[in-house]
Amino acid sequence: MRAYAGEPTSGSLWQRSIRLVRRTAKEGDWVTINVDGSALTNPGAVGVGGLVRHNTSRFMVGFFGSIGVSNNIHAELVAMWKGLALCWEHGYSHVYCQSNCLYVV
């Protein structure tokens, strides 16, 4: 699987340079959380979700839900917070965080 990402520029325009993005597995007791949050409008109804994977990419646990009305950045932050809280509840202290929001990571 391949994923590509552009680099943000001023305003809402994107540069034409694109780079390949790859997931690198962490060795040892590391887990990875992938999270996302979104608002239907900005502000609007917000949903969040994510999953925790073992360093071998095996699914371990996930979450999803609605958090009321807010904006996209708040949604992304809550998704990351919930993902980290879920890791802590399950005893995972070495966490690699992934999000599509540069403001969060």
Every domain of the chain and the residues it spans: 25-99
Q: Which of 10-24, 47-61, 62-76, 86-100 has the lowest mean pLDDT?
A: 10-24
Taking the CB of residue 11, how many other CB atoms lie within 10 A of it? 6
To the nearest whole percent, how much of the chain has pLDDT over 90?
58
| Residue 71: both structure tokens together | 């904006």
Instruction: Evaluate if residue 84 carries a pLDDT over 80.
Output: yes
What's this model's pTM, rounded to 2 decimal places? 0.74
Highest averaged pLDDT of the listed ranges 17-21, 54-58, 64-68: 64-68
User: Looking at the domain covering 25-99, what would its CATH class be?
Assistant: alpha beta
Residue 103's pLDDT is what?
83
Question: What distance in Å separates the CA atoms of residue 94 and residue 86, rounded to the nearest whole number?
Answer: 13
